[in-house]
Structure 1
């Protein structure tokens, strides 16, 4: 009798061990009954019927996928090595198990082809300056195509773009030429503004002769403060003209 009881107890314990599953808060169990989908369970304590029900675990946490470096030919025929990182998570455990065999591997392959396809439609300058836009474009394409797998792609980030040494030198020369151009433009704009200010000042001084005299006295004061052995005194035409006229008249009378 005792042996029979112990035998039954051992069967019950073995049945419980095979039947009980515990799922964490971030896990879900896709349960199949006789090979057909039954329901999604979890988290917590799960009881299965051994031999009749089987369960596949699915994690709902965000997965960080490192996309291997890809050889990309840009629209302007420049060869670039690009790698990226993709952030995704399973939002529908049923689809992620039934619709695709291994959604991690599937997303990795899809990310590689999408990366080459999207970047190949842009010039090198756009790759370097519009990285945020490229990230969004790749993320939208991946998210749309993985929706049927029950997966949500939340973010895509391009990490590195490796260029040849010759291309790096060409980009540096281009940047130097651009800085030189901007400096010349700024200098020309400064000259234009200075010329406009001088013209405006000349109009103000010509409107009143007294203003010219005050400016003349200010100039003499500035010259006197300088330590120079040679001083040039600018004389207004108002002072020189009468002297020239008087000298001309005396010469004319003497000639007569």
Structure 2
């Protein structure tokens, strides 16, 4: 092989090497980041930058992607912690937390185990918050308790580059002795309410009966008043007739009363035979005569 051919062969090799270096540099310098991730770039062991989704460029052979961090929302496993309320009741609280990493450079360099740190923080906050509340308040104000836990947790994990999206209290469990005591109290309250309801029913029944008696008395008094008014009116009419017609009208009224008396006697028991004195018969005869004369007039 002559020297010229050797020189050309060496040049081709150099070009190939340079082309390979360029291709490797491009490969090392271009980073395509998925939408659900962020890349933490270091240079000589120090934080250089954080790459977002899309095409990114770094300095080849100097910069390197040290951490690939998912920014998707995560859920911590359900955690149970014991707490004591202000009225000295032991409860076991099941909690769950949802979060996502928004600043990977903080979560990478400030905390080693994010899940464990958040779980420990939640346990401390739950014990502190429940310790200031009575058991009834824990059961009835669960939404307010959840919001308080989320707010306290958000302030703490902000230094770790984490956003708490949701915190949940899944269940509040009591020990068996407390459950039995609460059940006994609940049954006693139900019995008390039943007695109160029964007593109120009896009271209402007595009130209605009294109202009915009062109404009956009022109606009877009203009837007596109407009867008295009718009798007074009849007496007035008789008085006017006596004044106008004299003794004849009075005798007519007496005769009418005598006829009514005979009718009542006849309607009584043993009405088939009626014994009367002769004077009474003469009086009734006079009465019938007056009535007959009155009708003829």
TM-score norm. by structure 1 comes to 0.69
1:150-199 Cα deviation digits (max 9, x unpaired): 32222211123333322222222122112222222222333333333333
Aligned 8 A contact 1:205 1:211 in 2: no
Aligned 8 A contact 2:95 2:167 in 1: yes
1:22-51 Cα deviation digits (max 9, x unpaired): 222222234445555554432112222234
Aligned to 2:74: 63
Aligned to 1:135: 146
In structure 2, do the counterparts of structure 1 residues 207 and 113 end up closer, same or farther at CA, with 3 Å as the change threshold? same
TM-score norm. by structure 2 comes to 0.61
Partner SS, residue 208 of structure 1: helix
Matched, 1:147 2:147: no
Q: Distance in 1 between matches of 2:41 and 2:201?
A: 76
1:71-100 Cα deviation digits (max 9, x unpaired): 222223233322210112233444444554
- Once the two structures are superposed, the pairs formed by residues 30-49 of structure 1 within 5 Å of their partners are 30-34=40-44, 37-49=47-59
In structure 2, do the counterparts of structure 1 residues 24 and 188 end up closer, same or farther at CA, with 3 Å as the change threshold? farther
CA RMSD between the two structures: 2.9
* Bigger RCO of structures 1 and 2 (CA < 8 A, at least 6 apart): 1
Q: Distance in 2 between matches of 1:112 and 1:21?
A: 40
- Once the two structures are superposed, the pairs formed by residues 7-26 of structure 1 within 5 Å of their partners are 7-26=17-36
Partner SS, residue 104 of structure 1: helix
Q: CA shift at 1:111, angstroms?
A: 1.1
Partner SS, residue 76 of structure 2: strand
Aligned to 2:266: none
In structure 2, do the counterparts of structure 1 residues 79 and 206 end up closer, same or farther at CA, with 3 Å as the change threshold? same
- Once the two structures are superposed, the pairs formed by residues 81-230 of structure 1 within 5 Å of their partners are 81-209=92-220
Bigger CA drift: 34-43 or 162-171?
Answer: 34-43
Aligned 8 A contact 1:67 1:112 in 2: no
Bigger CA drift: 138-147 or 32-41?
Answer: 32-41
Aligned 8 A contact 2:83 2:93 in 1: yes
Unaligned runs of 5+ in 1: 213-256
The total of aligned residue pairs comes to 213
Q: Distance in 1 between matches of 2:205 and 2:61?
A: 92
